[in-house]
Amino acid sequence: MMDDMADHILKSRYLLPGEKDFTDICRRVAGWIGRDEAESGAFFRMMESGEFLPNSPALMNAGTPCNQLAGCFVIPVGNTITGIFEAVKQGAIIQMTGGGTGYNFSEIAPAGTTAEPGGAISPGPVAFLSVFDTVSEVIRQGGRRRGANMGILDIRHPDILAFIDAKDKEGKLSHFNLSVTVPDAVMEAFEGGEREEILSIHPATGRENTIGSVFDAIINGIHRNGEPGLLFSDAINRENRTPHLGEITATNPCGEEPLLPFEACILGSINLARFIEESTLDWKRLERTVRLAVRFLDLAIDRSSYPLPENEDAVKKTRKIGLGVMGLHDALILLGLPYDSPSARECAEEMMAFISETAVDESKRLAEVFGPFPAWEGSVWEKPVRNATLTTIAPTGTISLFAGCSPGIEPVYSFAFWRNNTAGAEFEVIHPLFSARLDEEIASLGYHGDEGRARQKAVIEEVRRCGSLQHIGWLSFEFRKLFVSALDISWRDHLLMQAAFQRHTHASIAKTINLPHTTGHEAIREAILSAWKLSLKGITLYRTGSRRASVYSLTGCRWCEREIPYDATE
């Protein structure tokens, strides 16, 4: 169950000597961030209730000798051996404190070409990727978190095909997610069916990288194992709130936080499900929590220690925070809205617009008292605000377990499944809302006693097997429609939900677009184009079953031939 899994993770990675439970962690963190007893008390109640939680480094490190509270970092990678290995060292220092790092390798000379200074032959960006990956394996983020990196390359780099195929075999570069940055001009040509336009010519081999060959490789890679992701560089920089400080070329490991060189960001997420009472959202309580969370995250900037002096300078210049949400799917279920319905997207957009507007208003209030972020003059903000950006949507993989809710804005992967490699253990998970509503559904259909228990067991076993209950016809249509899972939802509806949030999010969004195992290359092509046309900043696509190792696992698959429990026509 989810409580057992959360307790195991707490004991394995989060509890400090003398701490017994999550309440102790909340008390330590709130006490460190708050400026006085009253403020610390408000922060504690917000966290302990599961209404808001900061990112894992804050939970682990606040009030300790490490005291590094940010989860997201971007480190620049130069084009010299000295610059590259300086980035390796800087990344290692950051990962020892629990931070995740993003790197853009586009400045590294193509493999086989002469690199300056000294005239040595460059091994190319892919060779250096393995160096960074090995360091992450050694560091293992202080022994408590798995090292996480984002590796990025511009689509016009001559080594782009080698980069796309760098993770062609499972297990390679296991500490890296890979993404390709693509400008609008290339996407426009791709949309128009242009295949022969040359993106780059490799200076060592003379190979021509055309739009057709590169996008074929990207689509093949996504079909093979879900990588690379795509980052739409012009969309990211159209929303760059401090363009006078430079262009954004990299993100954190999950892609939700585009950052300038050396910037870092402390993230935190509001559990939307906690604000649903009797099928209604409590807007006043949500507003209070948003304002309190903004103050928490802004204070955390000053209460944090930073791995590098460059990090502290960059962070305090822009004071970016990353307030997001979790528990979306749970909230929609409590509201009676199917995740893939237009009404759910309208509700989600209304909630995120409210959160973003409230966060900005609170940042303006803070600016009146403490001053705007130092780089405000020259930014796109017309009026002073305390923070250059305020909202982002993180994956919340672990903190959602502590809050007892669905992760981020993702639909529930499956309402019953096995969760693998969770701090070295495996857990059977049955979603608590689903379990309770299933009991009610079975009783409403007239099944009680042994018959009711048998049907409940059969449904859970089938959902655990294939991740869906849509084919169990004796359950009511309304129940099945409400309890759609990630694999039931079309890629178009996944993207539309992401777009609903992106319209009201300053940074970006960590979201996986789940694809059925049978998805072909043309559908992947359509999804990429749709994401770009929806003005998303990036897209991550994953075809179910394309990797052997996965955090989530089912006992079978939807395409296995097996008798469905009870007659589907019943």
Residues annotated catalytic, as ranges: 252, 254, 256
Q: DSSP string covering 97-146, please?
A: TT-EEEEE-TTSPPTTSEETTTTEEP--HHHHHHHHHHHHHHHGGGGTS-
Q: Side chain identity at 122, as an amino acid letter?
A: S
Q: Distances from the Cα of 368 to the Cαs of 288, 315, 462, in angstroms?
A: 19, 20, 57
Residues 6+ apart with CB under 8 A from 460: 416, 430, 435, 438
Q: How far is the C-alpha of 114 from the C-alpha of 62, rounded, in Å?
A: 46
Residue 203 tokens, joined:
């200076």
3-state helix/strand/coil string of 507-544: CCECCEEEECCCCCHHHHHHHHHHHHHCCCCEEEEEEC
Q: Side chain identity at 510, as an amino acid letter?
A: A
Bridge partners (DSSP) of residue 264 are 73
Question: Could you report how far apart the first and last alpha carbons of the chain are, in Å?
Answer: 31
Strands (E) in 360-476, as ranges, are 416-422, 425-430
Do residues 96 and 142 lie in contact, with contact meaning Cβ atoms separated by under 8 Å? Answer: yes
Residues 6+ apart with CB under 8 A from 142: 66, 95, 96, 97, 98
Q: Side chain identity at 478, as an amino acid letter?
A: E
Backbone angles phi, psi at 133, to 5 degrees: -65, -40
Say whether the peptide bond before residue 228 is cis (omega within 30 degrees of 0).
Answer: yes
Residues 6+ apart with CB under 8 A from 449: none
Q: How far is the C-alpha of 71 from the C-alpha of 297, rounded, in Å?
A: 12
Q: Side chain identity at 314, as an amino acid letter?
A: A
Residue 154 CB-half CA count within 13 A: 18
Q: Closest Cα partner for 319 from 335, 302, 342?
A: 302
State the residue for tokens 């160096």. 131
Q: How far is the C-alpha of 359 from the C-alpha of 379, rounded, in Å?
A: 18
